[in-house]
Amino acid sequence: MTTKKNWPLRTILSSQFLIVAIIPVILVALLSLYLLIPKINHSHYLGQKTLSESIASQVTTYLDNAASDLKVLASFAMQERKLFNQNLGLLDIYTTNQAYFSAIYLTDLNGIITNIGLPSHRQYLRSNFLSLDVSNTNIFKQVTSSGQSGWSDVFLSTVSGRLSVAYTQPFLDGTLVGEISVEELPKLVQNLAKQHQVTVMILDSQRQLIAHPDAELSHQQINLSTLDLVQQTDNGQSLSLPFTFNHEQLIGTASIMPGINWMVISAQNKSEVEAEQSAVYDILVAAIFIGIISAGLLAMLLAREFIAGFTHAALQARSIASGDYQAPPTQSRIRELQWLADNLVTTGQAIETREHEIIQLNSDLERRVEERTEDLRMSHAELELTLNNLKQAQEQLIQSEKLSALGSLVAGVSHELNTPIGNSLMTSSTLTESVRTIVKQSESNQLTRSSFDTFISEVEQGSHILERNLQRASELIHSFKQVAVDQSSAKKRGFNLEQHFSEVLTTLHPVLKKSPIKVNTTIASSLFLNSYPGALSQIITNLIQNALLHAFDSTKQGIITVTANEIDTEKVRIIFEDNGKGMSKEMQSSIFDPFFTTKLGQGGSGLGLHIVHNLVTNVLKGTITVDSDQGQGTKMILDLPISI
Amino acid sequence: MMLLEINKTFKRWVLSFGLLASLFFLTSCTENTPIKIGFIGGLSGRVADLGTAGRNGFMLAIEEQNAKGGLHGRPIEVIYKDDQQQPQRAQALINDLLKENVDAIIGPMTSAMAMATVDQINEANKLMMACTVSTNKLTDLDDSFMRPLSDNQTHAAKMGAFIQQQEPLAKRAVAIVDIGNKAYTLDWVEGFKQAYESGSNSLRATHTFISTEDTPFARVANVAMKINPDLVVLAMNAVDATLMIKQIRLTNPDVVIAVAEWAGTERLIQLGGHYVENIYVPQYIDRSSTKESYLAFKKRFHKRFQSSPGFPALFCYDATRIVLTGLSKREGPQSLKEILLSIGSFEGTQGPITLNKYGDGRSSTFITRIQHGRFVVME
C-alpha cells in the first residue's frame, strides 16, 4: 500500500484559505486593470477634453469679438471715409480705447501702411511704421490671395514687438489690419493651470506654442508639430496621449479651434494621473494584505479548534486502544467533531462489552480443554497398560519362539546326527557280523584266503565308512555346540566371519538340502569381527529361513547370495540377496514390526525379522535396511561395527 | 514617490502571481542616464528670429540623433535657455546650465552674449559651441569657446572689398550700428571699413543705437541721412534693418545699402517688402548651393518647421552635429574640446567644416543681393 504524503492541518487550512482569499483579489485586480483603470483614464480624458474645448471656445469667442469689433469699425468708416484721415487720429483713439488690438493699420493695395493707429504711449513711434511695406508678410498675402477677411498665423509683430495674430479684411482699395498680441493667452492659461491644476497649451496653426503657463515658453515659437498627440489630433483623432514637454511627463488631450485652426492641449502631470491609478493599486494591495492576514488568522483559529478536536479524538482512540474505555468525551462546538468524540465513547463501550464476552468464552474453552486433557490422560494410561501387556505377551512369544527355535534346532541336530550315527551303527554291526563269520571260519578252519581277503576288504571299507560318518557326526556336534554355546552364552569374542557363516550354514544344511534354493557366500576370509557371534548366528539363520519361507514359490529354483565386505576400518557390510519375488514398499515398511507375517497360521510367528532387527540394532549396534521391489528380489543390508 | 513605490509593490505582487508578467516587466526596465546639452540664445522678443531659427536647427539635430537611439544608447536631453539678448541674464543662465552639469552648450547666438559668458565657461572648462558668433575678440584663443564659422574680419572685409569694386560711385558712406551687440557690430564695421576705404571712399560717420521696441528707427535713419551718403552700411538684426531701410529709402530711394550678415535672415525680406530690393546682404551660407546634403537638410527642416532654414538654423545644426560627433567619440579622460580638436574636420551641411587649433571654424562669405524678394548670390 502506498502512503500518500500528508501535511499538517494548519498548513492545508492556511494554504486553502489563502487561495480562497487571493482568488477574488486577483479577479478584482484584473477587473481593475481592464475595467476600472481604463474608466479612470477615460474620465481623465473626458475632463481634459471638456477643458480644452471650453478654452478653445473662450479663445474663439475672444477673437470673434475682436473681429466683429473691427468689422463694426470698418462698416462705420465706409460711411465716413474721412474719419480715417491721419490727422483725425481716429485709429489711435480706437486702438487706445478698445480692449483687443495693439495696432490697427490700413494698407494700400501694394501693402504699404498708409495709416496706423497705436496706443497712446507708442504713438511717437508712428513714423517707424508708416509706409512700411507688408506685402511680403503672410498677413497681407493671405487676404489678397483669398479676398476674404480672416485671422492670420501667429507672427512676431514688428509694430508691437510681440507675438501677435492679425485680423485682416479687405477695405476699400486696400486692407484693414488689426493686430492682437497673444500675450494675454499665457495669462489665461496660467489662471486655468492654477484653477484646474492642468497644463493648458495653445498652439497656432503651424503648431507653434503660443501659450503655456510658463510665459517664457510662450514667446519662444517652439514648434510642437512632432508631438504624437498633435499629429494624431491633426489627423482627426480625439484621444488622450502621454507626452514629454519641457522635461515634464504629461498626459493630455487636444482640441482644434475651428476657423483659425489653433490647437488647445489640456494636460495633466502623468504622475498625478497615475496617482489615481496608484490609489486603486493601493486599495488592491491593502485588500490583499487584509485578505492574507484574515485568512491566516481564520485558518489559525480554525486549525486550532480542529487540531484540539482531532488530538483529543486521537488520544481518546489511543486510550481505548490501551484498554481505558472510560476516557471522557471532549466537548466541541463542531457537530462532526462532537459526533466523532461521542462515537469513540460508544466504540469504547462496544469493545469493552465484546471483550467481556471473549473472556467468558475463553474461560469456557479452557475448562473444556482441561476436561478433554483429563480424558486423554486416562486413555493414555489405559493404552500404556495395554502396551505393557502386549510387551509381556511379546516377550512371552519371543521366549516361546526361542524355545521353538531351540526345538527345531534340536530336531535338526538329531536329524543330522541320526544319519552318520545310524550309518556307523549299521557299519559296526556289519563289521561285527563279518568278524563273527571270520572267527567262525577260523575256528572252523574253514578260513580261506579269499574269504579272509574279502573280510579284510570289508573291514577296511567298514572302518572307512565308520571313520567318515563319525567324522561327520563330530563335525555336526562341533557346529551345534558352537551354535549353542554362542546362542546361549551371548559372549562377545573375536571370530572369523567366513568361518562363522560356514558353521551357521552347516546347521541349516538339513533345511537347505530339502529345498531347491542354493546359498552362495562370497565373504572375504580376512574379515574378523569382535562381536556377538551368537546373535549373528541367529540373524543369519532367521534371514535365510525367512528367505526360504517367503522369497520363493515352493517349486522354483532360487539363489540366496550372501556377500560381506569392509566398508571402512570401522564397519562391515553384509548383504543377503535373493532373486525371489520381492515385496511391496508397503510391506517393507512393516517387515520389522513384531507379529508381522504373511504366512500367519502356516508356521510363521511374525517375529523372525523383528528378532533380527532387535539383535542388529540392540546387540550388534548396527543397522539393517531392506531394499526390494515386487518381482525384483530382496536385499537385506546389514551395516555392523567391526568391533563393539 | 511613495505612491510610485506602492505601485511597484503591486506590480511585483502581480508578477509573483504570474499575471501580466511581460506587460509589467517592460515598464520596470531602467533607462540609460541621458546626455545633457544646453542651448542658449535669444528666443523671445521682437528680434528673436535669430535665436528661434538657431534653436530650430539645434532641435532638428538633436531630434534626429535621438530618433537614431541617442548616443551609444543614451538619450540626449536638452535644456533651452532664453537670454533675451541681456548680458546679465545670459550669465545667470550659463550658471544654471553649469549647475545642471550639461555635457556641452550650444550657443549663444550673438557676439554680445558670447562675450558676456565666455569667462564663465572657460572657468568651468565647459565646451561652448557657438553657432553664429563671429566677433574678432574671440578669434584664436585657446579657450573653451568654439565656433564653426570664421570671424568678422574675414566676412566684413569681403563685403567691403566687394562694394568698393562693384559700387564705384558709393564713395561717401555712413554706418548705423546696434551697439547692444557691439562686439559684433563694431568689429564688423571696422572690418568693412578697412576693405572699403581706398581712394576717395570713406566711411564718414557711424551712428549707433540700442535695439529696443521703443527705438525711434525713423529718427535714427533721418539723422544718418542728413549728410546725404552714397552708401549706408547697417550692422543690426533683420527687424531693425527693415525699419531702418524703409526710412532710408523714403529719404533717398537710390542710396546703396549694405547690411551685415546678422540681418540676412528670411525676416529681412518678409518685413522689408519692396524697400529691401537691391540691397547687399553677405551670407554665411551659399543659398544657391545644390549640394545634396544641403538640399536634404532644407527639406527636412521645412518638413519639421514649415519654413526655410536660414544661416542661424544651418550653423546651429552643424554646430550641434560637431558636438554630437565629439560626444560620441568620448571615452576616458579626454575632454570634449580635446576630442573635437583631435578630430579637426567635420561633415558640414554645405561641405567640410575644419576647426583650427583654437576651435575656430573657417567659413566663406557669399555676397547676395535681394532681387524680387529673394537672396541672389553675386559672389
Q: Which of A220, A247, A279 sits opposite B82 (nearest CB)?
A: A220
Choose the mutation target among A40, A114, A139, A221 for the interface with B, i.e. most B CBs under 10 Å: A221
For position A602, what pLDDT does the model report? 60
What is the residue type of B122? N
Three-class secondary structure of residue A494 per DSSP:
strand
Q: Which of A22, A158, A219 sits opposite B271 (nearest CB)?
A: A158
Reported as a single tens digit per residue, the pLDDT across B198-255 is 889 999 999 999 998 889 999 999 999 999 999 999 999 999 999 999 999 999 999 9
Mean pLDDT confidence for A72-81: 80
By C-alpha distance, the chain A residue nearest B244 is: A128
For position B302, what pLDDT does the model report? 93
**CATH T-level assignment (fold) for domain A1-282:** Beta-Lactamase (3.30.450)
For position A558, what pLDDT does the model report? 87
Q: Which residues of B touch A274 (CB under 8 A)?
A: 3-4, 7
Q: How far apart are CA B375 and CA B261, in angstroms?
A: 12
Are B216 and A288 a contacting pair at CB < 8 A?
Answer: no
For position B3, what pLDDT does the model report? 39
Task: Assess B375–A contact: CB distance below 8 Å, yes or no.
Answer: no
For position B294, what pLDDT does the model report? 94
For position B10, what pLDDT does the model report? 46
For position A87, what pLDDT does the model report? 64
Domain ranges of chain A: 1-282, 490-641
CATH homologous superfamily of domain A490-641? Histidine kinase-like ATPase, C-terminal domain (3.30.565.10)
Say yes or no to pLDDT of B88 above 60: yes
Q: How far apart are CA A339 and CA A310, in angstroms?
A: 12
Are A247 and B269 a contacting pair at CB < 8 A?
Answer: no
Q: How far apart are CA B179 and CA B174, in angstroms?
A: 15
pLDDT band at B66 (very low <50, low <70, confident <90, very high): very high
Q: CA angle B181-B183-B187, nearest 5°? A: 115
Say yes or no to pLDDT of A376 above 80: yes
Task: Assess B217–A contact: CB distance below 8 Å, yes or no.
Answer: yes
Name all domains of chain B by residue range, CATH numbers in brackets. 35-149+290-354 (3.40.50.2300), 153-283 (3.40.50.2300)
Per-residue b/e over B255-271, b at no fewer than 16 CB within 10 Å? bbbbbbbbbbbbbbbbb
Task: Assess B31–A contact: CB distance below 8 Å, yes or no.
Answer: no
For position B122, what pLDDT does the model report? 94
pLDDT band at B90 (very low <50, low <70, confident <90, very high): very high
Give B221's contacts (C-beta < 8 A, 6+ positions apart): B176, B244, B247, B248, B251
Say yes or no to pLDDT of A238 above 90: no
Choose the mutation target among B274, B276, B279, B371 for the interface with A, i.e. most A CBs under 10 Å: B274
**Number of residues in chain A:** 644
Average pLDDT value over all residues in chain A: 84
Say yes or no to pLDDT of A542 above 60: yes
pLDDT band at A525 (very low <50, low <70, confident <90, very high): confident
pLDDT band at B311 (very low <50, low <70, confident <90, very high): very high
Question: Checking phi first, is residue B20 left (phi over 0); if not, alpha (psi -120 to 50) or beta?
Answer: left
Mean pLDDT confidence for B328-344: 89
pLDDT band at A605 (very low <50, low <70, confident <90, very high): low
Mean pLDDT confidence for A413-423: 79
Are A274 and B7 a contacting pair at CB < 8 A?
Answer: yes
Q: Which residues of B touch A284 (CB under 8 A)?
A: 10
By C-alpha distance, the chain A residue nearest B267 is: A137
Mean pLDDT confidence for A131-143: 87
For position A254, what pLDDT does the model report? 92
More confident residue, A511 or A202: A202
Are B213 and A161 a contacting pair at CB < 8 A?
Answer: yes
CB A206 within 8 A of CB B52: no
Say yes or no to pLDDT of B41 above 90: yes
pLDDT band at B18 (very low <50, low <70, confident <90, very high): very low
Min distance B321 CA to chain A CA atoms (Å):
20
Average pLDDT value over all residues in chain B: 88
pLDDT band at A489 (very low <50, low <70, confident <90, very high): low
ipTM tops the 0.90 cut: no
Task: Assess B22–A contact: CB distance below 8 Å, yes or no.
Answer: no
Are B7 and A30 a contacting pair at CB < 8 A?
Answer: no
Reported as a single tens digit per residue, the pLDDT across A386-396 is 999 988 887 78
Q: Which residues of B touch A156 (CB under 8 A)?
A: 46, 48-49, 239
More confident residue, B116 or B6: B116
A388-402, B42-56, B147-161, B311-325 — which is least confidently predicted?
A388-402
Task: Assess B82–A contact: CB distance below 8 Å, yes or no.
Answer: yes
Three-class secondary structure of residue B74 per DSSP:
strand
Are A128 and B14 a contacting pair at CB < 8 A?
Answer: no
DSSP A138-157: HHHHHHHHH---EE---EE-
Are B213 and A223 a contacting pair at CB < 8 A?
Answer: no
Are A282 and B239 a contacting pair at CB < 8 A?
Answer: no
Instruction: Give the position of cell 517707424.
Output: A128
Say yes or no to pLDDT of A471 above 80: yes
- B233: which strand partners? B175, B258
Are A223 and B56 a contacting pair at CB < 8 A?
Answer: yes
H/E run at residue A265: strand A262-269
Reported as a single tens digit per residue, the pLDDT across A251-307 is 899 999 888 889 999 998 888 888 877 888 888 888 888 888 888 888 888 888 888
Task: Assess B278–A contact: CB distance below 8 Å, yes or no.
Answer: no
For position A604, what pLDDT does the model report? 55
Give B102's contacts (C-beta < 8 A, 6+ positions apart): B36, B37, B38, B79, B126
For position A412, what pLDDT does the model report? 64
Percent of chain B with pLDDT over 90: 75
Question: Checking phi first, is residue A412 left (phi over 0); if not, alpha (psi -120 to 50) or beta?
Answer: alpha
Mean pLDDT confidence for A598-621: 74
CB A634 within 8 A of CB A580: yes
Task: Assess B274–A contact: CB distance below 8 Å, yes or no.
Answer: yes
Are A29 and B19 a contacting pair at CB < 8 A?
Answer: yes
For position A405, what pLDDT does the model report? 62
pLDDT band at B297 (very low <50, low <70, confident <90, very high): very high
Task: Assess B348–A contact: CB distance below 8 Å, yes or no.
Answer: no
Are B10 and A284 a contacting pair at CB < 8 A?
Answer: yes
Say yes or no to pLDDT of B13 above 70: no
Task: Assess B218–A contact: CB distance below 8 Å, yes or no.
Answer: yes
Q: Which residues of B touch A261 (CB under 8 A)?
A: none
Are A134 and B271 a contacting pair at CB < 8 A?
Answer: yes
Mean pLDDT confidence for A577-604: 77
Percent of chain A with pLDDT over 90: 15
For position A406, what pLDDT does the model report? 64
For position B327, what pLDDT does the model report? 93
H/E run at residue B373: none
For position A516, what pLDDT does the model report? 86
